[in-house]
Amino acid sequence: MLNWLKNIPWRLIGSITLGLAAFVGVMMLMGLVARKDAAQSCTALQIMVEGKETFIDQADITAIIENQYGKVVGRQLLDIPLQKIEASLKALPYVSNADIHVDINGVMKVSVQQRAILLRVINRVGQEFYVDTEGKKIPTTLKYVPHTIVANGYIRESFGKPLEAIESPVVEDLAAIVRHINTSELWSNQVVQLYVNEKGDIELVPRVGDQDLILGNAQDLDDKLRRLEIFYQRILPRVGTEAYSKVNVKYADQIICERYGDWFIDSLQMKMNK
């Protein structure tokens, strides 16, 4: 009898018993926490809107939540559709991301990241839209006008619906040029506008000077801007700011300058008469 008792693995049985007791305890604790969370009410709504733009603010987010889902403060957390609210905020055209969670005190915390605007486009019929840093089209609004480069002229692309992607090579080139300009302190201070002429060439409109700076497209931007720097540093100081109306760096390894008015016409006539 005693030998049989000695052969029982009491240590293993004890370990299993302790493990089961711990598991049951954890499950009971989780059940208590779940019941507590289900009964807990939302004590406050805290909203943080991030990003340099101000298309939307805390009041806008509060209004959107309450108009679609009712007031949340005072309601039981179990009755608040957090995932649906988060999805609704992410679907807003001016929002790139949204996150919602509730802390242990019942505070519903909403974090919203606004889209970063890259470019404002005015197409050939006067329709306007923004392009963000992700290449998505964003509607304009009277509430807020971001400080950004404007592109206009012979642009055919139109605005269909919010968050649709860029379609035309011209607008893709415009966006690429602005991204490049934004990396340069010199050009971000000097360029105030982009213009697409009747030939489809992209021109830079400078802050200082009246010259049309013709890039053509977004290919070889480093080289094209380097040649424009040569124009400003070496040519312009010698001839003056009123000597040329156009500076064309569209073609590789060339800086083609056209003179203003009669000077250009006279020069052209002289060449024709020779």
pLDDT in tens, 29-61: 555 455 555 568 999 999 999 998 889 999 999
pLDDT surpassing 70 at residue 126: yes
pLDDT at position 10 is 52
The encoded tokens of residue 249 equal: 């760096």
- The domain made up of 44-114 has a fold known as Ubiquitin-like (UB roll) (3.10.20)
Q: Are 244 and 260 in contact (CB under 8 A)?
A: yes
Which residue in the block uniquely carries the two structure tokens 């992209």?
A: 202
pLDDT of 28 reads 56
What CA–CA distance (Å, rounded) separates 28 from 205? Answer: 70
pTM here is 0.77
Predicted pLDDT of residue 5: 47
Place of tokens 């598991």: 23
pLDDT by residue (tens digit) across 83-122?
999 999 999 999 999 999 999 999 999 999 999 999 999 9
Half-sphere exposure at residue 27, Cβ-oriented, CA atoms within 13 angstroms? 6
Break the chain into its structural domains and give their ranges: 44-114, 117-273
Q: Tell me which architecture the domain covering 117-273 has in CATH.
A: 3-Layer(aba) Sandwich (3.40)
Confidence category of residue 132, pLDDT binned at 50, 70, 90: very high
Looking at this protein, which amino acid is placed at residue 10? W
pLDDT band at 154 (very low <50, low <70, confident <90, very high): very high
